[in-house]
Structure 1
Amino acid sequence: MPPPPATARLTRADDPAGWWELVNADDVVVTQLDDGVGEDADDADGGRGGGGADVPVATSSASMPSLVATMLRHLDVTDGHTVLDIGTGTGWTSALLSARVGDENVTTVEVDPRIASGAAKRLAAAGFTPRCVVGDGLAGWPSKAPYDRIHSTAAVRSVPRAWIEQTRPGGVVVTPWGTPYANAGLLRLVTGERGGESYGRFVADVSFMWMRSERPPPVTGAVERGSVMAPEPGGRSEIDPDLALENVHAAFAIGLRVPGVRYAHTWGDADPQGTFRMRLTDGAGSWASVRYEGWESESAVRQAGPRRLWDEITAARLWWEGAGRPDLTRFGVTVGADGEQAIWLDDPGNAVS
């Protein structure tokens, strides 16, 4: 397996041509690593933060422009709409919304004070003055509610009740949504009447950074030691492990059926192919490990804990095949008045257990 991609710091002052090339590209540009730990105080144009970790983690970015356009199309704002924009980032989406509905109708929330300050300065320099606040986006911003639209640029595992309560009945919430196994869906939810249910569908395949408080913990190379139980004797896998991540639609469906489970890949440098494994954990004492090479052998799978995670992954994959291998856009969400969330396939009456 190749090593993680390298990161490099790039500023407008040091490389104007390269900076503009990235700005104008239809691609994601990482603007912060490791929550900004170790960044220079005067770094106003983004680039490389030094978190001290062996593998830096991207924690803020400017989204791919074509994807931003897709999200705004699903948001469907029109004249006079009030919008809550969650995850200010660079401020670009806030500027687009301000240009469309007017600064006075846009409130943008950013959890990172430094990112929020930089965005406010850029917005002002571009001639836009939306309401810029620092806060936890999961709580919305109730002082200016209700909103006609809520737009989020960070992924959640469930739609916060606060967002629905702060949106007018018939309003729209557009947000990336995922599971620890597959952070992959763009949800468009239409809010119901007060005390009623809200319904939404997944409308696109996207992958965004998690809300900071929603990030799944990492899967370490020693998940086995987190279990209080010894692994059961090794066994064979019923499916080729490649099928567990065959495509985004399979992974998304599997993630819906294996709550709380996340994965990582590990291998030994001396024999990467022969030792390449998927490791799974639910963070609550259950773990599994499956070898890709020789997955039909009696020593390919190891599992321990209250759950048999690889068995769950296998069953979820077979369920997806039995359901006709549905694309993720066939799934949807119902959010009850109490905030409880139910996932369904094709129709709200066809719940995904």
Structure 2
Amino acid sequence: MLADLTAAGALGEGWRGAFERAPRSAFVPDEIWVDDDGYRLVSRAVNPAEWWVEVNADRQVVTQVDDGRVGGPGVATSSGSMPSLVASMLRHLDVEDGHSVLDVGTGTGWTSALLCTRLGAGSVTTVEVDPAVAAAAGERLATLGLRPSRVVGDGLLGYPAGGPYDRIHATAAVQRVPLPWIEQTRPGGVIVTPWGTPYANAGLLRLEVGERGRESYGRFVGDVSFMWMRDQRPHAVEAPVDRSPDHRGSSPIDPELAEENVHAAFAIGLRVPGVRTLHCWEAADPSGTHRFQLMDNAGSWTSVRFRDWDGVDAVQQAGPRRLWDEVTAARTAWEKDGKPKLTRFGVTVTVGGQQQVWLDDPEHVLH
């Protein structure tokens, strides 16, 4: 795995040694979950070969489902991130000797370990909301002789007692950059965090913190998808309630265009706040019944048929918002802007913590 990351140029300068001294395998628990049309438990003791394949692959390893509860819906809630993404995020963090770092979302402890081996454990504070996950990570870190400052708590609040920090690194996605992160970072410091919308959880944000009393600016530097911070998770995706639509009609665009690629979805998501999506169909006729559904968790929903999408009843909508109208308008706006990639977008965080998203320049704010 390390050889592949090195050959691909994924490891930033100064990080190869950290990855060697803190191998990923030392931080993956003995029981992991593999997605086989639903999560299946894989035990290192029972099936070591499969366990090692998952650990050494450049992909996410799910380490917890349903926040550790038994009998849940089978939703991944904690994981070990893709090694190439970990390397990329650390490269964008741009740490230097002597920097202090707040690692938000300890998870398995691997990223904390990499930061410790690169900067020294005394320079690293790591916070985890789940006590069981935090305890397990602490044991793994101690096994390698690494003892960063460990905190069990809400990472969205940061940890002011350990600040101010030169860098903040988050391993779970946010919809809004928390103001405490800004306040606990030195002016000129950097925050690297996954960032997304309920429609498209897809951006990696690198935010530079402004001087006290000034705004902070950042750009999206990559395409990533991480699990959400628990307190910023979007509402659950459920099929619309069984009621008659307020409006029926044809679609002005092929519904495929609503998720044509990550850049289109990301741009649309910026303009349709609070909207989540769901694909559904009947097993007896998947292609004939395939529909694209949207919900905002405030009473508005839309269902769009893929086949014959320009038919008179292809679109059904209900509630105070016309969600498909919003999506088609957002898609049109993205096209008028020249179909920009997500890396052309950025974020401004005001002194009061308000968030503005812009295209190319902070003056070109998206409303």
* 2:81 alignment partner in structure 1: 63
Tell me whether 1:207 sits opposite 2:225 in the alignment.
yes
Q: Deviations over 1:192-214 (max 9, x none)?
A: 01111000000000000000111
**Residue 25 of structure 1, CA deviation:** 1.4
2: CA distance between counterparts of 1:4 and 1:171?
41
Q: 1:146-165 to 2 correspondence within 5 Å?
A: 146-165=164-183
Task: Determine the structure 2 residue equivalent to 1:195.
Answer: 213
- Give 1:6 shift: 3.1
Please tell me the residue identity of whatever aligns with 2:101.
V
SS of the residue corresponding to residue 97 of structure 2 reads: coil
Q: Does 1:243 align with 2:257?
A: yes
- 5 Å matches for 1:222-261? 222-223=240-241, 225=243, 230-261=244-275
Specify the alignment match of 1:26 in structure 2: 58
Deviation for aligned residue 1:245: 0.2
Deviation at 1:15, TM superposition (A): 2.3
- The one-letter amino acid paired with 1:271 is D
Which residue matches 1:8? 40
Which SS does the other structure have where 2:116 is aligned? helix
Match of 1:324, SS? coil
The answer as to whether partners of 2:240 and 2:295 remain within 8 angstroms in 1 is no
- Residue 123 of structure 1: aligned partner: 141
* Structure 1 match to 2:234: 216
Q: Secondary structure at the match of 1:175?
A: strand
Query: How many residues in Structure 1 have an aligned counterpart in Structure 2?
Result: 333
Structure 1 CA distance, aligned partners of 2:102 and 2:135?
Answer: 18
Distance (Å, rounded) in 2 between the aligned partners of 1:279 and 1:166? 40
From 92, 109, 113, give the equivalent of 1:74: 92
- How far apart are residue 18 of structure 1 and its match? 2.4
What percentage of residue pairs aligned between the two structures are identical?
66
Work out whether residues 247 and 318 of structure 2, in 8 Å CA contact, stay in contact via their aligned partners in 1: no
Distance in 2 of aligned mates of 1:223 and 1:70:
42
Aligned partners of 2:36, 2:275: CA distance in 1, in Å? 22
TM-score by length of 2: 0.89
Separation in structure 2 between the aligned mates of residue 224 and residue 347 of structure 1, nearest angstrom: 44
For residue 214 of structure 1, what is the amino acid of its counterpart? Q
* TM-fit CA distance, 1:295: 0.3
Distance 2:276 2:36 in 1: 19
SS in structure 2 opposite 1:8?
Answer: strand
Q: After the TM superposition, list the runs of 4 or more consecutive aligned residues in structure 1 that deviate by more than 6 angstroms.
A: none
Structure 2 stretches of 5 or more lacking a match? 1-34
C-alpha distance in structure 2 between counterparts of 1:224 and 1:288, whole Å: 12
CA contact (8 A) 1:189 1:199 kept: yes
CA RMSD of aligned residues (A): 1.3
TM-score, normalised to structure 1, is 0.92
Query: Where does residue 339 of structure 1 map in the other structure?
Result: 353
- Cα pair 1:224 1:287 within 8 Å, conserved: no
- Give per-residue Cα distances to partners, 1:238-261, cap 9 Å, x unaligned: 000000000000000000000111
Q: Distance in 1 between matches of 2:155 and 2:202?
A: 20
Contact 1:201-1:330 within 8 A present in 2 as well: yes
Q: Residue 189 of structure 1: SS of its match in structure 2?
A: strand
CA contact (8 A) 2:185 2:209 kept: yes
Give deviations 1:114-137, integer Å, cap 9, x for gaps.
000000000000110001111001
1:256-290 alpha-carbon deviations (Å, 9 max, x no partner): 00011111111112211111111111111111110
Q: Secondary structure at the match of 1:339?
A: coil
Aligned partner of residue 127 in structure 2, secondary structure: strand
Give distance in 1, aligned partners of 2:293 and 2:47.
41
1:184 counterpart residue number: 202
